[in-house]
A and B are shown apart, each in its own frame.
Chain A
Amino acid sequence: MWDEHVPRKNNSQMITKKTFPIKGIHCASCVYTTEKALKNTPGVKDAVVNLATTKATVTYDSDDCTPEQLADSIAKTGYALELKEKNEEIQEQEKKKELKILKTKVIASLFIGALIFWGSFPGLMNTSPPFLRNFFLQLLLATPIQFWAGLDFYKATIPALRNRTANMDTLVALGTTVAYVYSAFVTFLPKVVMNLGIDHMPYFDVAVIVIGLILLGRYFEAKAKIGTSTAIKKLMGLAPKTARVLRESKDLPAGRQEIDIPIDQVQINDVIRVRPGEKIPVDGIIIEGDSSIDESMVTGESIPADKTKGDTVIGATINKTGTFTYKATKVGQDTMLAQIIKLVQEAQGSKAPIQRLADIVSSYFVPIVIMLAFLTFGVWYIFGPSPAFLFALLNTVAVLIIACPCAMGLATPTAIMVGTGKGAEHGILIKDAESLEIAHKINTVVFDKTGTLTQGKPKVTDFEYMNDVEKLTKLNKDYILSLATSLEKGSEHSLSEAIVSYGNTESKKYNVKNFNAVAGHGIKGTVDERKVVVGTKKFMEQEKVMRCAELDKSADKLTSEGKTLAYIGVDGKNVALAGIQDTLKDTAVEGVKALQKLGIEVVMITGDNKRTAEAIGRKVGIKRILAEVLPDQKEAEVRKIQTEGKKVAMVGDGINDAPALAAADIGIAMGTGTDVAIEAADITLVNKDLRTVASAIDLSKKTMRTIRMNLVWAFGYNIILIPVAMGALYPSFKILLSPIFASVAMATSSISVVANSLLLKRYKI
């Protein structure tokens, strides 16, 4: 967030110029106050505060003044000077710098390596200019590469050895140093080598080209690794920078003014205005206006959502059509986007159980390779053909260079990073790597019915009257409906709500007297001086309501369709019948089908009676139904399925069914509004699209497949190529691995692991 200019000595002063963000400034007076405070701080030469960027650029003598003192001065004025630079920004800057330096080193080492190779490779050296064949010139060319381009290997090796640890750099430093020191020895003391019966050829090309190729591999690896964390950066980049807040102002005729403030200054209950095409700054509830909102970037839901007064809006989503004002309900780290980022970061910091073997191997790997290098040298020197010393030397270098612990270290985390990031982009939030690993084994998915498979809001699907009702009872249909809705208004039961919302807006509202609700049966009362009863068949019998033959017939039909019935009686006669059903979500059928296509058994769990549950099951394509299960029994039902040897995922809303979600091997909470941090859930699906359940399981399968491929590659590579470098193929096939080829293989190995993980990005959800 802040730029540091290189400090320069000026009349024995250390003048430094730095830029710091200031929190809380929003007017010219704030600028004046903060500037004055900064200028009055001892050691400060100049200070300029910019209102538009809300940043202060301060020039100060770093011998007399520290950033902490500047922060203290600002704090006294009631504002805050931010000293902390965002970790992600530093990372990006450092990565860019690292890549630039690497590029220069790669070009220099490969160019010089090629020149030395031309002047020293048998068969090729005859075509080179004579000066390139001069060993001293080769030494002169190789030395800066060894100690400048290869400096990082030494820088990492020396402190590591001090800690009695070793890594990849140790191996490269050892391998190239052996080649370089031997070559320098040959250059200065050729006679000593010749007296030992060894051809006095140096191997500067090996040292230089190996460094060049390994750095080239590291360059590509660093570039590819940036790609593994793009999802999280993309999510972070979604957050808008400012919000247009309506603030009270006595000076204005309207009583309030619109001001743009930085996003981190938005407070709960602030009223924010959003215009078409703008990003919604934080989470909140619409208080005025309506619009269509594109939420795809946060929830993965591709169709824009229509929102009106009272609806929740999510920060960082895009307002498409209308202008509206809303009240902020969640700000800062509590917003949905911030929670998503936190969840993804946590998942990427977790470790998958599959990684355990790689962990154990990598902790012994480098020392074992060094031991194998000693063994190689000894065996080749003692048993190898002539010139045994050169064979021993080159094979030892090849062993040190070809070993690639990086590939093992990168195999799992890179795939986890890409997999969880890919999920987050589509509203699939995976709690940790372990959940991802278990999810790929799921073979049974249990859906909670109400609110998960269905909308959770029962609706009247059928409303039938007795034949010739107007003629026989002298009551018209609208009047009957008005009587029923007037009575139902007094009840909070979800079935009553369904009847009330079915009654059209023109339904008359009558006063209700003697209202009485009988739990589990129905309600009764006097409406417009008539005795009205709404409820079950049994309730009608209790209230001595005369049955109607044709409505009874309809009742059978509706029950067989899985609908709940509400009989309506007026003045002792059953005059109408309502069929009520909780409607399925649009994506329910496709969601279930997608799971079945993956070979997963789908189960529905519900408190409904068997007949109703089965009817819904038929509609949605689920055969195994667990009906009449009370909420506190759901957990036991999940455990019962697990005893059949099944790996169970339970899908629910994460609130009412938290125990069942926790009991399942994988708990999937879905469509949870803006609250995504659900403890009981291993996977949270931000949107309400049931197809994402299958996508989440499929994504876990694909990620695990990538991890397995990576591990097989990383282990296989080392298990096969280290013995080859040691010369295992020499006795039978006379095949040896040149150190240069070893460095090509090594560089390719870790890049292929990262590249394979990046292929996951192509997976379509």
Chain B
Amino acid sequence: MGTFDGLSVALSALQAQRRMLDVAGQNIANVNTEGYTRQRVNLQAVGATTVKGVWTGSSNSLGGVQAVGIERLRDAFLEVRGQAAHGAQGELTASQGVLSQIEQVFPEPSDSGFGEQLSALWSAFQDVANQPGDIGTRTALLQRASAVGDWLNAASQQLTTLSVGAAAEAQSGVDEVNSLAQQVADLNLAIGDAQHSGLSFNDLADKRDVLTMRLADLVGGQAGIGPDGAARVMIGGTPLVAGTTVRQMQLTGGGATLQLSWAQDGTPVQLTGGQIKGLVSSVATAIPSWSAKLDSVASSLASQVNALHSAAYDLDGNVGGPLFTGTTAATISVAVTDPRKVAASSVAPGPGGPSLDSGAAQGMASLGASATGADVVYRAMVSDLGLAVEAVTRGASTQQTVTDSIDSARQSYAGVDIDEEMANVVQYQRSYEAAARVLTAVDATLDQLINRTGLVGRQ
């Protein structure tokens, strides 16, 4: 053992405690930083070498302590569960968002909803049945019919706008995914370099974890860290990022044919979750299906009214044509503009002129009570829509609870606890004081030896 070994042991202790204080300070500084993982200094006692020298003898060497590295405290298993939960969450939230917007097109029950508009139309037919010869009631009927047609046109237009909006949101999501994937690949490269040079890459890894979690939100990507330290992000069995290689995605088609595919070969991306999955399936499946239901309201209205109207006679005794043209919600409109041409009579004109019979108008007024009429189709649609929104909202809320609890567990493991850090700071401070005291003791010992020993005979 060397004479001054004590000094170097104390010095190594002072340095190690300072290092630990610094890391505790870093942890406290980042207590509110998103994605920050708490760090810990790994210490190792420096003792004798494990391989004994043959000719040299330093069996009782004490080298003090050294910091061998700074570790990120993160649970890889929790991260994978977090990514799965975020993927499911993203999909449900996006679907719920679009479906809620579809629901807003049908604000029922209300005094101004489509149900009331239909009732007003049947009522107008009833008025014509009561006063078949009155031009005023016929004009009112045509206005009611136009209002019903306009409402259907507007609702169809709103669904189209929703579809376009959701597709645009999906497109910006895809752009973000492509950019994020590139950033992950860049970080893989930087981390690899840092690893080779023996530098700390904890902060780069934190940044990469934030990006991969965002990828999970968007496309349900599952990230794993390979033995070389590079992250690999998989989507439905195909790598989005592998090492420094990135595969770009693209959206093709529109409306019911909207599809997410790999830019490289055009094969569809097998999505397992994520906001983009929710948006793409809303645009390609959900909106077209509600649109078709709205069309069936329009077509049942048009076909039932037209069947009666075409068989009836107008105020001048002529056979009435169809009252509505178009059989979809987007195209339905009122074909008759002249109130005299509303066909209310089911009796052909006799020798005395046209009949003021109102059987046909009465028949059309009674369509409101029909078991297969537009009212029933519309009611069933609104009820189905309500059930669908309720179900997806419940699903999203349940998934939110799951995601929150996993995020909480991740945060519990990787997050900074100020109490803990403060306790550590106190401990490190005391350890530093103790090491300083050791230094003083060694110094005093050496002082005794060097300055006060062997003074016999000195004057």
User: A and B from one assembly?
Assistant: no
